[in-house]
Structure 1
Amino acid sequence: MIKGRLGGTRALVVLDDVSKDEQLRALCGNRTWIGPGSVVIITTRDVRVLNVLKVDHVLETEVLNKRESLELFSWHAFRKKRPRKDFIELSTNVVAYCGGLPLALEVLGSYLYERTTQEWRSVLSKLEMIPNDQVQEKLRISFDGLRDHMEKAIFLDICCFFIGKNRAYVKEILDGCGLHAEIGITVLLERSLIKVEKNNKLGMHDLLRDMGREIVRESSPKEPENQSRLWFQEDVLDVLKEHTGTKAIEGLALMLEKSSKVCFSTKAFEKMKKLRLLQLNGVQLDGDYEYLPKYLRWVYWQGFPLKYTPDNFYQENIVAIDFRHSNLKLVWKEPQVLERLKILTLSHSRYLTNTPDFSKLPNLEKLILKDCPSLSELHPSIGDLSNLLLINLKDCVTLSNLPRTFYKLKSLKTLIISGCTKIDKLEEDIEQMECMTTLIAKDTGVKQVPFSIVRLKNIGYISLCEYEGLSSHVFPSLIRSWMSPTFNPLSSIDPFGGMSSSLVSMNMHSNNLVDLPSMLSSLSKLRSVWVQCHSEFQLTQDFRRILDGISDVNVTELETSKISKHSLRSFLIGMGSCNQVFNTLSSSISQELTVSVSSDFSLPGDNYPCWLTYTGEGNSVLFEVPQVNNYCPKGMVLCVVYSSTPENIADEYLSGIWIVNYTNFFIQLYKRDTVMSLNDEEWQGIVSSLAPHDKVEIFVTFQHRLTVKKTTLYLIYGESIDGKMEPSFRSMLPDKMLFDPDLTKANLTEPMKLVTMLSNLDQKETRKNSWFWCNCFAPKK
């Protein structure tokens, strides 16, 4: 019935609170039930439902601002747009508590309708401890809908301990607890139960936080020692003072003021056999550390009071240790075997003089020692950490140069040594750190950059010796600084030997344009150059001078008499995914030039939207980038028609391709070897730099003198988002195109069959269906 009613009309369909894609299939089929021009609006708590359905647009609803929140609340609490004068302050407090959540504003507004100011204050006081039951009841819908106990455990752990913590950091800890946090956190994000905020930190709405904590509290409201997680200060203090802890407790947090000197016996933890998350601040423990449970996965102890970690505080299952602002002088007197430890944080430990022996920490991934002013050296065993990804030594002002074993860290991705004023040298061995992507060494004693740094293939961001930015921007400046103190690129590059040949891509400014030819000949492995100019005038003047110095092309008109002696030939250059078009054009153009008896010949033209054609005299093509909706650029083919002799072959003499954007004042150069082996990343670099309506000219440059008649550009576009085509029929066409689905069933192998089918189509059916294309390449037929 639904299919029959909706299939033949334009309809607006609203499906509210969808939780499974099966519901949509039952109501809408596979989109074929809905007629053309219809709109379907779906609301859901799970964005994955929308992703599976590949909907056209996803809109995340926003919370209300203060004005909207107060108005919505007032309609429910006072039955009018604004609160009563004597309730303005109380209303503002309630609205602030709700945080712009319409659900909470409606529920609490209705609950407070026609209540006295004393009752309002009582409700606000109660809400600070226990959320309103109606709010909780409705907010729990999403929590109760979680699929398993692991997802629920992850949500409750975040509610109680990890709000404001880095997502990757939390994932490592919860994975160590066996909770499969990667998929679990993703599910919570999809359900809008948590969110990722600035700097990849986890957050959630205050009401959702309170709802999660209330779920924990209500399991044993009068006996907190039987709750799975303890975070409320009074409850924690009571349990630790009275030694009433039980094996039900999985997580405990007590965050006191730094100046606090509250002390507990370690025996208070003896019965907490399943304690896995421990967070302390301003707390001291006396007694035998053997009483602390061996099930711990995370210890966050800000202001750790001891000079050494006790030997009997052995945590074989620990994943992350965070002893920031500690009194540690040494981490351990004797090396500890902690095979599961991945994160060690000792930042702001002002008495720490040495790092531990790392030989017993084989799986350490992150070492954070920021602002340890007494730290003077790194243990040589640091070079044995084969899984280390991050080292942060920022502001370790006493630390001297890094040990040579440090440069053996092949897995290291991020190194931060900013503010380490006594580090005055980085060794050439830095090239061994092949995985490094980020090097931040601002305000150090380093005066000279090691030459071998350009060999780091994965380096992405550098801050070093007053150079700062993406490596593609910084490397050219570094290279020029090595060439001479005056930054003159024409100074000999020879001092680098083979070093400069490692440079693959270069971004530079136009003030060095005149020296570009010398740089191109010196940097043998350079594949591409991107030059930013200040104006179209400057671009035109400087570029023409460069082109005259590099290109050796005769663009004079051909005489008919010369053609009998020098045959016309075509040279095709393909960039991107356009092999079929390339082969088809090559055959067609060869036939055209063979039958041509004069210089007047025609090349294949537009076959829109599969390709767009632009032709220019000589070795360049000027065009405006088209706006082609629903099609993506797949590649381009350049066809150069030139006068050829047996000694004059364009394929051998090609120098490069220059793409000049007169709208945005930049030049892209792709050298000959690049053009012949253009990779996907380089093709995307071309595509991303050309916006619709940009005025662009493409030049093909050659070595030795060639007489070029014309250059034609074919822009190749792929199929639209919903275009479909059978493989047997697709093989006939130069590239994928939108095609009428009924025609694909014919399994056509010859063009005449296509003509026959089209002639037999009912005219009404032809108008109703979408598009079909016939592509023929026989010249002059």
Structure 2
Amino acid sequence: MVSPEINSLLDVGSNDEVSMIGIHGIGGIGKTTLDLAVYNLIADSFEGLCFLENVRENSDKHGLQHLQKILLSETLGEKKIKLTNVKQGISVIKHRLQQKKVLLILDDVDKIEQLEALVGGFDWLGSGSRVIITTRDKHLLESHGKYALQLLTWKSFKTEKFHPSYLNVLKRAVAYASGLPLALIVIGSNLFGKTVQEWESALHRYETIPNKDIQKILKVSFDALEEDEQSVFLDIACFYGGTNDKLADVENMLHAHYDACMKYHIGVLVEKSLIKISSHSKLTLHALIEDMGKEIVRLESPEEPGKRSRLWSHEDIIQVLEENTGTSAIKTIYLMCEDEVELDEMVFKKMKTLKTLTIKGGHFSKGPKHLPNSLRAVEWWRYPSEYLPYDFHPKKPAIIKLPKSCLTSLKLTDLLKFINMKILNFDDADCLTEIPDVSSLLNLETFSFEYCEKLITIHESVGFLDKLKVLSAKGCSKLRRFPPIKLKSLEQLNLSFCKSLKNFPQILWKKENITELGLEETPIKEFPCSFQSLTRLQTLQLHYCGTFRLPNNIFMMPNLVNITAWKSQGWILPKQDEGEQRDISIVSSNVERLHLIFCILSDDFFPSGLTWFRNVKELSLAHNNFTILPECIQECHFLTDLNLDYCQYLQEVRGIVPNLEIFSASHCRSWTCIDMLLNQELHGNRNTMFYLPGARILNWFEHRSSGQSISLWFRNKFPAIALCFAARSMLKESTITPNICSQFLDGTGSYIYFYLHKVKFKANLDEELVENEWNHVEITYNGKDKNSILIDSGIHVFKQKSCMEDIRFTKPCTER
């Protein structure tokens, strides 16, 4: 039975407008059941129907484009819906459903992007349409529906509170934006810190825009930018919005283009909500904002691409390059394609103000005979000539990247006259055999010649570039010697995969700034004494390095916190002199993260190894040969994460660290006596996740279940419990490896970890519960690998921390 309140909200008989209704609450309270009831009750009143189940899960698995296809297929009754991207899907939904009365139910939505892709505005559907959205996130509904005022307030004042004098202009802005989240975000960000009078003036300009065209709304915010900020925004919108370029790389290219630091300008664009910086340090922007920027540039010359300031469309660029229709208006070219290009050799002659040239694709039949001297940044993959044009003498060159080029060592000398060069890249240059004298490149900061497999010689001058910060010879497999280093500014050195390099370069400067050192698959067996000069070294990677000897001084390096070794044939630790007595805290290194995986470690490792690494917090000794984890492990007081997976000879664990949070020892076939780690007292006094060999639920877990999940009902307050899973892994050979896990859970924290899989609980979980009402909790199993199958599971309730009257393991009878 659907409640009168919901019937009233739906107002199915009305065909005047589109209505959206949001239902929010914790999982298991019946939101989906209510959806189905409403759907079955009112479906006959609509021309098109769609019930999109599990939007969160299906979006993660299949993407938003997949959901758009289902929406269109069900509402239109057409099976073969073809979409190339989400942007096209939005356009098709708006076009095909704008005149159709639709009932759309979106079940379990968890991201605003899902709503924006499926039903981004009231004008997407025909009059009388109804949209029902269920979610666990109340704030998501607030930003999309009737609480648009709160979203606008946050963007405008960075808080929910504001002076009452702003109320009318805020309501006016919400009414104008029709609740569209993107418009609210941009308007609010643009008017941050403005007076009421400035708000009224801006809203007047917004309201003069006919039909509330979002592109024109966004352009008002663009027009409010300073001229140089507008220019940077257009560059990002045209070239970097949909790429995988890292923020630092984009900043470098823009810095070279404008000869100025870009951090301030990018910060302004972020503040105005025109661009975003993702958690992976990449620039992103909304598709509508990107379109707005590209449209501004296109309108510079709608019919003739060669007269625009920026070219990004590969059709336009190829037309200009082949037909020689470029002009001095072009400032930047960014080409990404795999098409054949019949380059006009003199095409760049007319582009007298071209500053940035990026070509990351295309197959050119020949190279250019001229490049403009206005160029400041050149990135040309597979540059199609053995030389640069003879008259190429750029005035302010900052970046030259020519990966996979045909340049030879002889022709490389042509570049060395560019004294202002900051970034130089010749990765994958097949014909490069020698790095010549680079002493003239006094301002060089990044020098990379990775995977130049014919490179044999590096000139001594490479080791004396005072401003060099990043140096990479990764993958130069024939390089036998690296010159001595006196690089005062160097931060990153990568000599990984230099398979013929047996000696680490001598260090001639006492205070080197190197923080990262990569030596994967490089047969260096020990470091020189001068290695101790790397006092700022933080990360050392030693993968596939054969038998390796660590020098004594490596442990006296104050900033070295991360050592990773993988598949070494031996790991030789330094030894103290006989009879030498030292305080252990002085001897121990500052290493916090130590991974020694596949390093053939035996029992001999621990007496000295745990002394040297006593301050470690994260220790992985997986795939090694020791048989005992000794008591001295307890001296590692800061250790929180210990991994002994696949130590097939391990037979006994004699100690557990007090502060341990994760202990994993899966696939340890020889360790059969694990009783020490299974007693109830141990688990009741700690919050450690144990992942152990075994195939049975511990006796003190009162409630047990078979299958992929286990349930309980509680009321008033989430109980303090421990979980135990017994699982097995079905391997290719059909062998079975049983494992069990135990995890303490009390519901008061923000996160819970099951096999390193994160499940989020609201920090104020108890405040969300209705007093005296039963709440159903279903706990599902997520194995460490996709082959993991749950056998049994169990729950133990800590009675001293829980009210047993408020806990049930079978569905309680509710009073009617």
Q: Which has the higher helix share?
A: 1
Question: Which structure has more RCO (C-alpha within 8 Å, separation ≥ 6)?
Answer: 1
